[in-house]
Amino acid sequence: MEYIKNKFYQKASKCINEYQKLKNEHGDKVIANVTIGQVMTGMKGVPSLITDTSKLDPNTGIRFRGYTIPELREKLPRLNPEGEPLPEGLFYLMLIGEIPDRDDVLNISKDWATRAYVPQHVFDVIDSLPLTSRPMTQFSAAILSMATDSIFQKAYRAGVHKKHYWDTTYEDVMNLIARLPRIAAYIYRRNFHNNHHIEPDPRLDWAGNLAHMMGHDTEEVKRLLRLYMVVHADHEGGNVSAHTTHLVGSALSNPYYAYAAGMLGLAGPLHGYANQEVINWIFDMIQELDNDNPSEEDIVAYTKKTLSEGRVIPGYGHAVLRQTDPRFTAQQEFAKKYIKDDKLINIVNTLHRVVPPILEATGKVKNPWPNVDAYSGSLLYYYGVKEHSFYTVLFGVSRALGVLASLVMDRLYGLPIERPSSFPLKWYHEKAGEK
Ligand code: FAM
- 355-372 pLDDT, tens digit per residue, is 999 999 999 999 999 999
Determine if ligand 1 sits within 6 Å of the CB of residue 147.
no
Q: Is 383 in the pocket of ligand 1 (CB under 6 A)?
A: no
Distance 244 CA to ligand 1 centre (A): 19
Active site residues per annotation: 271, 318, 373
Asked if residue 21 belongs to a domain, the reply is yes
Indicate the pLDDT class of residue 191, thresholds 50, 70 and 90. Answer: very high
| Mutation pick for ligand 1 pocket among 136, 352, 364, 395 (CB with most ligand atoms within 8 Å) | 364
Is any atom of ligand 1 closer than 6 Å to the C-beta of 55?
Answer: no
Give the mutation target among 234, 270, 359, 360 for probing the ligand 1 site: most ligand atoms within 8 A of CB: 270
For residue 300, is pLDDT > 90?
A: yes
Which atom of ligand 1 is the closest one to the Cα of 316? 7
Tally of domains in the chain = 1
Q: Is the CB of 312 under 6 A from ligand 1?
A: yes
Tell me which residue has its CA closest to atom 47 in ligand 1. 271
Task: Tell me if 116 sits within 8 A of 176, measured CB to CB.
Answer: no
Give the amino acid at 413.
Y
**CA–CA separation, 68 and 257 (whole Å):** 31
The helix (run of H) or strand (run of E) holding residue 396 is helix 391-413
Can you tell me the mean pLDDT for 295-321? 98
Read off the pLDDT of each residue in 305-316 and give the average, rounded to a whole number: 98
Confidence label for 413 from pLDDT (cuts 50, 70 and 90): very high
Query: Considering the domain boundaries, does residue 391 fall inside one?
Result: yes
Cα(286)–Cα(291) distance, rounded to whole angstroms?
Answer: 5
CA–CA distance, 169 with 150 (Å, rounded to integer) = 9
207 occurs within a structural domain: yes
Give 82's pLDDT tier (boundaries 50, 70, 90): confident
The reply to whether ipTM tops 0.90 is yes
> Does residue 231 have its Cβ closer than 6 Å to ligand 1?
no
Whether 235 lines ligand 1, by a CB cut-off of 6 Å, is: no
- Residue 71, pLDDT score: 98
Which residue has its alpha carbon closest to ligand 1 atom 10?
A: 365
Which atom of ligand 1 is the closest one to the Cα of 278?
A: 44
Does residue 65's CB lie within 6 angstroms of at least one atom of ligand 1? no
**Cα 127 from chain centroid (whole Å):** 25
What average pLDDT does the chain have? 97
Residue 279, domain CATH: 1.10.580.10
Domain-embedded: residue 427? no
Which residues, 6 or more positions from 60, have their beta carbon under 8 angstroms from its beta carbon? 68, 323, 326
Mutate to test the pocket of ligand 1, among 365, 369, 395 (most ligand atoms within 8 A of CB): 365
The answer as to whether 233 is a domain residue is yes
Asked, for residue 176, whether it belongs to a domain, the answer is: yes
Write b or e for each residue in 276-314: b if 16 or more Cβ atoms lie within 10 A of its Cβ, otherwise e. Answer: bbbbebbeebbeeeeeeebeeebbbebbeebbeeeebbb
In a domain, 42, yes or no: no
Q: Which domain holds residue 96?
A: 1-30+49-419
Residue 18 is given by DSSP the state: H
359 domain-assigned: yes
Predicted confidence (pLDDT) at residue 1 exceeds the cutoff of 80: no
Hey, what amino acid is at 427? W
**H runs (alpha helix) in 115-254:** 120-128, 135-145, 151-157, 165-192, 206-214, 219-231, 240-250
